[in-house]
Structure 1
Amino acid sequence: MENTSLTLKIGDFEVNRLGYGAMQLTGKGVFGAVEDGANAVKVLQAAVAGGVNFIDTAEAYGPKFNESLIADALYPYQSDLLIATKGGFDRPGPNNWIPNGSPENIRENIEGSLRRLKVDTIGLWQLHRIDPKVDVAETLKPVVEAVKKGKIRYVGLSEVNVEQIKKIQEILPIASVQNLYNLGNRQWESVLDYTAQQQLAFIPWYPLASGPSKLESKIKAVAEKHHATIAQIALAWLLKRSSNILLIPGTKSVAHLNENLKAAAVQLSDEEFEALSA
């Protein structure tokens, strides 16, 4: 539970452990284009200017709009910027997410992401969900193919258990796992421990429990002591929990972005960490 370093390695990439998740830069229900495009561009540019070199997006965000927005804001990319995207969902409407692991869909997702992000190689491509209707080995055939052709550098998974990770590791190397995890919801503790042992990046989504005010009473005293916000303490706890955790808090506000980035400076004591974890 020591955040000895504020960077971690994903293959050859050394990334700052405070990244940025771009999902909120979409329309309502993660559908359609973001309302204020100029502001969204500012947020993305401010993230990179603030030292963020890991940005998480997905074909399903928008769908498609979010990847194009990132290219509009940041292309040509800084050489040390790792953009992670995902595939494997159909989006018929707002807040509607249907897993689609058919090889045809995955292939189309990969080719589309390459085009929209304006890259020849996707730095980290993640399977957004395992489709229960399709054998995962079939789903991953186009991914294996894309890795061989140099279209994907590293592969990650999302919302998987340890058995599923092990099964997929027999098919191809895995660099990261993105599961729901935060101070208030630690159902994937076993996955976090497995990824740490395997030296894979663990990327918690909803790192702020979609508003850490839910944990306010627990965190308040610690936050006051550090002259920090509730959100900063929630993020600092994750950084201390395991050195393979890579954070992707999302926001539509430059001020809130800068506040999140300052969480890296908050050093919790072991006692504080234990009190928050209890």
Structure 2
Amino acid sequence: MKYRKLGDGLEVSALGLGCMPMAGVGNNMYGVATEAESVATIHRAIDLGVTFFDTAEVYGPHLNEALVGKAIEGRRDGLVIATKFGFRLNEDGIRGLDSSPGNVRRACEGSLRRLGIETIDLYYQHRVDPDVPIEDTVGAMAELVKEGKVRHLGLSEAGVETIRRAATVHPIAALQSEYSLWERDVEEEILPLCRTLGMGFVPYSPLGRGFLTGQIKARTDLPEGDYRLNDPRYSEENFDQNLKMVDAVKVIAGRHSVSPAQVALAWLLAQGDDVVPIPGSKRRATLEDSMAAIDVTLDHEDLAALDAAAPRGGTSGPRYGERMMAMVRI
């Protein structure tokens, strides 16, 4: 494994592990996951030198943090555990956004308990709450840093002005947002701003929710109840058009004798030393394939071909439905 630095001096493995597929927003969001294999996947990641693990209160809800906590018990040293807050939850599930100072503290205490740790290494606001000034939210997060409950602060899917305002209150170590060959909009303003402010960038869904792996050749390959059956880019009207991008990835994968997933991750790693993708996995086999991307080097010809095949704005369909799109870049 290789290692990189995000902002505020936070060092992590150059590839992290997104734990959401192990217990996402609702059960089996990306197909069936078993606890035993999920725990084994986290253990295997640690053995491979992965130090960066990403979860969130809302995944499950709560189930994912508890699973991660179980997996890291006795192996906590040297790991960077990232989790997120920002939703109002009750026994029926998600009931809107809530980044009020009171909810920041409530969520943190719950996450610490479920994870079985004394300090959260990187604590993200999961989605910006338009009803709470970001200064109030980050101020409450900063109090948790002073108390030793949190080490570093992060934002997720925040807009330009929110990022700027947040950084005036407390150093922000990382922005997590969707970024991949099929979602490049952050390159216009968001990524340059992070670099200006000294923030690291953590791409989630770096494999296009599995699309860029080349393993999904038709919508019928997805199991019943899979979230992606409602993803606009997986829709019948967009699916075949987006496969053309995967074809280009496969050509380069063949040239290097690696998997398409490794090419997609290597492309992200080539975008800068401050970029740390967190591919999601719930099985050891896919984890091992993804982590091998650390040793894949794309040359100028490869990068030019991928840029041509997957230009910014070139993917067919929006990345989310209308409701979820309304929650990003605020």
TM-score normalised by the chain length of structure 1: 0.91
Q: What is the alpha-carbon root mean square deviation over aligned residues?
A: 2.2
Q: Distance in 2 between matches of 1:91 and 1:277?
A: 41
Q: 242-251 or 139-148, which moves further after superposition?
A: 139-148
Q: What corresponds to 1:245 in structure 2?
A: 275
Q: Distance in 1 between matches of 2:113 and 2:47?
A: 25
Q: Distance in 1 between matches of 2:253 and 2:92?
A: 36
Cα deviation digits, residues 32-81 of structure 1 (max 9, x gap): 9x852111111111111111100011111111111111111111234211
Give the deviation of 1:12 after TM superposition: 4.5
User: Secondary structure, in 3 states, of the residue corresponding to 2:102?
Assistant: helix
User: Secondary structure, in 3 states, of the residue corresponding to 2:121?
Assistant: strand
Q: Distance in 2 between matches of 1:265 and 1:42?
A: 23
Give the deviation of 1:26 after TM superposition: 0.7
Give the deviation of 1:161 after TM superposition: 2.0
Q: Distance in 2 between matches of 1:62 and 1:176?
A: 24
Structure 1: give runs of 5+ residues left out of the alignment: none
Give the deviation of 1:194 after TM superposition: 2.1
Specify the code of the residue in structure 1 equivalent to 2:21.
Q
Structure 2: give runs of 5+ residues left out of the alignment: 215-242, 309-330
How does 1:19-168 map onto structure 2 within 5 Å? 19-26=16-23, 29=26, 35-91=33-89, 98-168=96-166
Give the deviation of 1:124 after TM superposition: 0.6
Q: 2:82, 2:124 within 8 Å by CA — same for their partners in 1? A: yes
Q: What corresponds to 2:221 in structure 1?
A: none
Q: Distance in 1 between matches of 2:127 and 2:25?
A: 21
> Is 1:270 the counterpart of 2:300 in the alignment?
yes
Choose which of 284, 289, 293 in structure 2 pairs with 1:259.
Answer: 289
Q: 1:87, 1:128 within 8 Å by CA — same for their partners in 2? A: yes
User: Secondary structure, in 3 states, of the residue corresponding to 1:204?
Assistant: strand
Q: What corresponds to 1:223 in structure 2?
A: 253
Give the deviation of 1:28 after TM superposition: 6.6
Q: Distance in 2 between matches of 1:20 and 1:143?
A: 24
Specify the code of the residue in structure 1 equivalent to 2:22.
L
Q: Distance in 1 between matches of 2:255 and 2:116?
A: 45
Q: 57-66 or 90-99, which moves further after superposition?
A: 90-99
Q: What corresponds to 1:235 in structure 2?
A: 265
TM-score normalised by the chain length of structure 2: 0.77
Equivalenced residue count is: 273
Choose which of 1, 4, 12 in structure 2 pairs with 1:15.
Answer: 12
Q: What corresponds to 2:172 in structure 1?
A: 174
